[in-house]
Structure 1
Amino acid sequence: MTDFVTIEKGLGPEGRVAVVRFDRGDGINALSPEALRQLTQAARSFEDDGDTSVVVLTGAARAFSAGFDLKDSEGRLRKSMDIGSLRRHLKLGPRLSRAWQEMEQITIGAIEGFCIGGGVALAVALDFRVIGRDAHLRVPEIGLGMNMSWQSIPRMLHLMGPARTKQAVILADQRISATEALEWGLVEEVADPGKAFDAAMTLAAKVAAQPPLSVAMTKLTVNRLAYALDDLASHMDVDQFALASLTDDHKEGVAAFLERRKPRFRGR
């Protein structure tokens, strides 16, 4: 099994900063099921780590992530799964984003190149996001006949508000530039190209210099208040995804993506 994720600890003030690097070495950094498992395990590895206050998550130099890997052999087995197996398999994404959101440490994403689909879902589960000036984000799920899942809609809604969230998700072909992402509230800082990681580490050092227990308790309080009602709606997005995956529009969307042509949706 190939390791897509590496962890380095003991950085920054008092050694309280850690870096999690996700890099498949292919310039695309797609989220295969195995990558989802490794990233989830990376987040969970900090559960009993009282020495780390901040975790910086970064991707490859050219891409944070291209989102879910539609060409992965395990992922393509979805089309032959029964509904029960499909629902269990579809929980990999929500499990990943929840693991990162619920970390006690402050989390910061360093985004270069492109951040697409599941990459955006992972990014909005973090506390802060720093993006390179020439990078962009995009949410293509609806264009593939799917819904934006992984409990991402409430998180995006908290950051951007209703109209911008609809714009980002429904207009699936729209690239969100770094400048737009900052204006919309989707990211907190724009860095020079190639410098997102450095800027994220600078922010991490500032956080790590604060009293660790006070920081952790404040994060927990803010998250509990902000996300208290999210499960009332977002719990259903796995079933929405499972339902959407059975539609002709989904089959057409994926086929068009793989064949690099414009899809023809028919609402069925």
Structure 2
Amino acid sequence: MSVKETVGDFITIEREGRVAVVRFDRGDRINALSVQLLRDLAQTARLLREDIETSAVVLTGGQVFTGGADLTDPAIRQRAAASLLERREMLRAGPDMCDAWEALDQVTIVAIEGFCIGGGVALSVSCDFRVTGKSAYFRLPEIPLGMNMSWHTQPRMVNLIGPSRTKQFTIFGEKVDAGTAEKWGLADEICEDGAALATARRWADKVAALPPVSVRMAKRGITQAATALNAVSTFMDADQFALASTSEDHREAVNAFLEKRKPDFTGR
């Protein structure tokens, strides 16, 4: 028998046995991450952290995983007029959300359909495993838009795919298809389109059949070994984002995107 609860307007948690399935779904084909949705996802992770009955958590989106940050969100637009101190506080939502998911002792499996862009990548690499439909792709658009990759993401990707591929993925901002993602180690299994959730659930069921205390200890030990220096290398990435987003190059990148032309970057 499953038990379902909601967090905020767009998140459901469905528990069955030792598995919880978390779905965030705004009901459209972008499934963008608003600031409130980021906070609700963080709250969801904190609720699950206190759940000693659950061994595995599957995280999935709606029609697609997510197109990343919701640039139409009024809370994001308000940052432009905020003081630096206010802006630093506003920028906490993304990294706090990713940190909350990484802090879970349950094994976390992300089911990805369609696309996983920007903040979606940041969220997915905060988790343990990623299962993707064969047509799904990953992309980081931040650098071509004159920003930096924040949310404590870069060392997590280095942990997964190494420094050279992390540089390719981050700097060029190009799509990484499911096959390449699996070759790199960013995706753990590719399945038929539409089957990512069912496939991720099979992974979760395997975890749920194992001794829960041993699983939690193993996961935490491996995560701590892999991420011991991550906080040291990313403690200023929100400040870097605040700086980069005030540059002329960032404004030029956004204008060029909207005007469908090639940008002219100057380093200012």
The normalised TM-score by structure 1 is 0.95
Residue 9 (1) aligns with residue 15 (2): yes
Residue of structure 1 equivalent to 2:73: 72
1:48-104: CA deviations, max 9, x gaps? 21111101000012x101011111111111111111011111111100000000011
Q: Which amino acid aligns with 1:44?
A: R
2:27 to 25, 28, 46: 25
Gaps of 5+ in 2: 1-6
| Identity percentage of aligned residues | 53
2:55 to 53, 56, 60: 53
Residue of structure 2 equivalent to 1:245: 245
> What SS does the corresponding residue of 2:116 show, helix, strand or coil?
strand
The answer to whether the 8 A contact 2:135-2:177 is kept is yes
Gaps of 5+ in 1: none
Q: Which amino acid aligns with 2:127?
A: L
> What SS does the corresponding residue of 1:240 show, helix, strand or coil?
helix
Residue 152 (1) aligns with residue 153 (2): yes
1:10-36: CA deviations, max 9, x gaps? 2xxxx0000000100111011110110
How far apart are the structure 1 equivalents of 2:125 and 2:262? Answer: 28
The normalised TM-score by structure 2 is 0.95
Residue of structure 1 equivalent to 2:262: 262
1:175-205: CA deviations, max 9, x gaps? 1000000001111111111111110001110
Counting only pairs closer than 5 Å after superposition, residues 1-268 of structure 1 correspond to structure 2 as 3-10=9-16, 15-61=17-63, 63-172=64-173, 174-268=174-268
How far apart are the structure 1 equivalents of 2:141 and 2:167? Answer: 12
Report how far residue 257 of structure 1 moved.
Answer: 3.2
Report how far residue 260 of structure 1 moved.
Answer: 4.1
Q: Which amino acid aligns with 2:117?
A: I
Q: Which portions of structure 1, spanning 4 or more consecutive aligned residues, are displaced by more than 4 angstroms? A: none
**More displaced stretch, 49-58 vs 251-260:** 251-260
Report how far residue 2 of structure 1 moved.
Answer: 6.2
Report how far residue 232 of structure 1 moved.
Answer: 1.2
